[in-house]
Amino acid sequence: MNFTEEIARRRTFGIISHPDAGKTTLTEKLLLFGGAIQEAGAVKSHKIKKSATSDFMEIEKQRGISVATSVLAFNYQGIKINILDTPGHKDFAEDTFRTLTAVDSVIVVVDVAKGVEEQTEKLVEVCRMREIPIIVFINKLDREGKDGFDLLDELEKKLNFKVCPLSFPIGMGYDFQGVYNLWEQNLMLFEEENKQKIANSVKINKIDDPLVKKLIGENAASKLDEEIEIINEVYPNFSKEDYLKCEQQPVFFGSALNNFGVKELLDCFISIAPSPKNKISSERVIEPGENKFTGFIFKIHANMDPKHRDRLAFIKIVSGKFKRNTAYHHVRSNKKFKFSSPNAFFAEKKEIVNESFPGDIVGVHDSGNFKIGDSFSEGEEIIFKGIPSFSPEHFRYINNLDPMKSKQLAKGIDQLMDEGVAQLFVLEMNGRKIIGTVGALQFEVIQYRLEHEYGAKCSYENLNIFKACWVETDSNKNIEFIEFKKIKNKFLAKDKSGQLVFLADSSFTLEMTKQKYPSLKFHYKSEF
């Protein structure tokens, strides 16, 4: 297969939703249909001690929620699919926002009972800004939920979508009998006793086929006939061009837990979803088909395997061919790096790859040289745009509970901060360490991981800080800057890279400080 064909068969997408809509379960079932796993893990069930493939961190298995993006790849009908399963919880949204820089399309999962929720709205807004094509999967049809048309209305009103239903449910909850697939003109019948097996579909020529009445009953058949007529009259016909331009959003109904409607979603996805797209860099627009390799790091994960203390940087390949044991230019440090064991992923299972193509995600071992947002090339000075970093909103002192494990604690904090889950500030006055996060739940995750991955115990102390502001001055000898450092000494800290940070305790303090020292600039992000 030549280079152009390899690019054309790649599909890299993210799965996003509000927490508990069934995102990780859907990821599992896509892997099941792709033949990548033989048995799906019950994400929530504690009776079955098998956890979801994409939730590989210990805390995820215990909590039943995703706290980090996981990368999974498999082949299906000759198409190479790269899935990025993201956390839904708002406290981990930072990881999700960064991940959306590495995908070419998105599947939004909506809970049939809860409809469109707050976190879904925020994530869809990010997709809209980035012009990422979206498919909607309405999940949990085997439970009582909202009417199908009500859900379609909600998608249009709350998310400003122009929906195009490509399947529609027959009944809901207790009355749920299956799904009519408008995309392939067939009937999917739900069998209660056949829950964890792959459902069979019945091919019908048209909706008024006598077989439909025989299979689902006369009442359900006439209701379905009416509903399909409404869909054909009210909603637009599917247009691949509109979908790719983000002007239309196809909608599928199903139940991921029961493998229902998942195959239909996957079959449609591989035929309509975009192959790798162009990416904007600081210098120019980079096309996937270019001969020279370019890529960027969108995620760093410490301790993929706690036995080996390994730290992996995830590179999204934007153009050219990435080859093992080839020296590539690291733009920020202006150094060359060679990767002897680049990995492709199947959750935590890794395999070494000799070459990868645009759209693929490669994990490379990192001994502390890389940061999120770093670019690689074959010599060209390029920086990829739009990889966000966030100003922390929650701050706490971190204390060591075991003086014998000071080294392990320092190393753990150092590595976890590089993942971008939180930021570390060291007070100028007394050297105390402060952790700043976007979401409060991050503190729990950091504490858990420090103990279970690094053997270091810590506790937190509350701290009243309104904002962390990075301070910029035209000269360290600036009289205003010297006075500012002297007066505000107890509110000053250094971040991980040694930049000066002002920890303001209220919005009033911040405004007064800005007025008093007009020659200084205060930034909410470290990149200015």
pLDDT tens digits, one per residue of 5-27: 999 999 999 888 887 778 778 88
493 and 401 within one domain: yes
DSSP character string of 266-329: HHHHHHHS--S--EEBSSSEE-TT-SS-EEEEEEEEE-SSTTTT-EEEEEEEEES-EETT-EEE
134 and 76 within one domain: yes
- How far apart CA 86 and CA 75 sit, in angstroms, is 20
In the chain, % of residues over pLDDT 90:
34
Q: What is the pLDDT of residue 54?
A: 47
Domain that holds residue 45: 3-179+228-272
285 and 245 within one domain: no
148 and 284 within one domain: no
407 and 310 within one domain: no
On whether residue 264 sits in a domain, the answer given is yes
In the chain, % of residues over pLDDT 70:
83
466 and 326 within one domain: no
Give the H or E element holding residue 30.
helix 23-33
On whether residue 452 sits in a domain, the answer given is yes
Q: What is the pLDDT of residue 510?
A: 92
Band of the pLDDT at 40, cuts 50, 70, 90?
very low
On whether residue 10 sits in a domain, the answer given is yes
458 and 414 within one domain: yes
Average pLDDT over residues 176-202: 68
Q: Which residues make Cβ contacts (< 8 Å) with residue 396, sequence separation at least 6?
A: 434, 435, 443, 460, 461, 462, 463
Q: What is the pLDDT of residue 310?
A: 67
52 and 122 within one domain: yes
Whether residue 392 contacts residue 436, with contact meaning beta carbons closer than 8 Å, is answered with: yes
Using alpha carbons only, how large is the chain's radius of gyration in Å? 25
Asked if pLDDT for residue 108 goes beyond 50, the answer is yes
- How far apart CA 488 and CA 57 sit, in angstroms, is 41
Q: Which two tokens stand for residue 142?
A: 């085997």
On whether residue 500 sits in a domain, the answer given is yes
Enumerate the H helices of 169-261 as residue ranges.
210-216, 218-234, 240-244
pLDDT tens-digit series, residues 145-171: 888 899 999 999 999 999 999 988 887
Q: Count the Cβ atoms, other than its own, within 10 Å of residue 485.
A: 16
Band of the pLDDT at 94, cuts 50, 70, 90?
low
Whether residue 314 contacts residue 322, with contact meaning beta carbons closer than 8 Å, is answered with: no
On whether residue 217 sits in a domain, the answer given is no
Q: What is the pLDDT of residue 46?
A: 33
Amino acid at 17: S
Average pLDDT over residues 69-80: 81
Q: What is the pLDDT of residue 210?
A: 72
- Domain termination residue (choose one: 347, 377, 407): 377
141 and 289 within one domain: no
Q: How far apart are the first and last CA of the chain?
A: 44
Closest CA to 15 of 49, 39, 43: 43
Number of domains present in the structure of the chain = 3
On whether residue 202 sits in a domain, the answer given is no
pLDDT tens-digit series, residues 457-473: 999 999 999 989 999 99
- How far apart CA 32 and CA 263 sit, in angstroms, is 10
Q: If you ran DSSP here, which 8-state letter would residue 131 be given?
A: T
CATH of residue 517's domain is: 3.30.70.3280
Average pLDDT over residues 94-99: 72
Matching residue, tokens 């807004």: 125
3-state secondary structure of 81: strand
265 and 169 within one domain: yes
On the CB side of 432, CA atoms within 13 Å amount to 14
48 and 128 within one domain: yes
96 and 244 within one domain: yes
Average pLDDT over residues 63-69: 46
Band of the pLDDT at 303, cuts 50, 70, 90?
low
Beta strands across the sheet bearing 521-523: 458-462, 394-400, 433-437, 423-427, 492-494, 500-504, 467-472, 521-523
Residue, of 38 and 225, whose pLDDT is higher: 225
pLDDT tens-digit series, residues 337-383: 999 988 887 644 678 889 999 999 898 888 778 888 889 999 889 88
- Domain termination residue (choose one: 377, 411, 432): 377
On whether residue 327 sits in a domain, the answer given is yes
Q: Which two tokens stand for residue 1?
A: 């297969």
CATH of residue 60's domain is: 3.40.50.300
- Domain termination residue (choose one: 377, 412, 447): 377
On whether residue 188 sits in a domain, the answer given is no
Q: What is the pLDDT of residue 511?
A: 93
